[in-house]
Amino acid sequence: MDREDHQKHPRPVKDSVVEMTEVVLPNDANNLGTMFGGKVMLLIDVAGAIAARRHSRRMVVTASVDSMSFHTSIKVGELVVLLASVNRAFNTSLEVGVKVFSENTSTGTRQHTASAYLTFVAIEDNGKPTGIVPVIAETDEQKRRYKEAGKRREVRQSGVPWV
């Protein structure tokens, strides 16, 4: 199958899954010894873009970040683990959900530290938006995320700010 053929077939969520892991070093942290929020945001954008690219098989650009929330901090020496996957594809855009965890390597325990939803737009080589194939949501969790992505899109398009 050539690239053109691959562009015509819907893809399951599992094809877009990304797991990124980094160790938190002192230069990633503030005076409290916890990871900079901006660094976490950068990693969220990178993981989200990789998931979007895997699904669209195109270059992507970040169009929006919705509902970024921080729950707990990540300490120097811990791992930061990001899980990302496409929730839903629309015409030229798609929503990616990213969950961030801290991992204590001594105990192996993970703690949910942050979450975000990002919208990416697929682009052609000329920089113009291009169509993307639909997502196949297979599990109950994926179907729930697919449905909720549609609701978030309606809110984004309505112009009503997030509360």
pLDDT tens digits for range 69-125: 899 999 999 999 999 999 999 999 999 999 999 999 999 999 999 999 999 999 999
Would strands 11-12 and 135-136 be described as parallel, antiparallel, or unpaired? parallel
As a whole-number percent, the residues of the chain with pLDDT over 70 amount to 93
Task: Say how far apart CA 142 and CA 146 lie, in whole Å.
Answer: 6
- What pLDDT score was predicted for residue 58? 95
Can you read off the two tokens belonging to residue 135? Answer: 């997502």
**30-35: long-range pairs with CB below 8 Å, 24+:** 32/73, 33/75, 33/76, 34/73, 34/74, 34/75, 34/76, 35/73, 35/74, 35/75, 35/76, 35/80
> Does domain 3-158 match CATH 3.40.50.11540?
no
Q: Could you list the beta-strand ranges (E) of the chain.
A: 11-12, 18-23, 59-70, 79-89, 93-103, 110-123, 135-136
Residue ranges covered by each domain of the chain: 3-158
Q: Which residue has the tokens 């300490």?
A: 75
Where residue 156 falls among pLDDT bands split at 50, 70, 90? confident
- What pLDDT score was predicted for residue 163? 54
Task: Say how far apart CA 89 and CA 146 lie, in whole Å.
Answer: 9
- What pLDDT score was predicted for residue 2? 45
- What pLDDT score was predicted for residue 52? 98
As a whole-number percent, the residues of the chain with pLDDT over 90 amount to 85
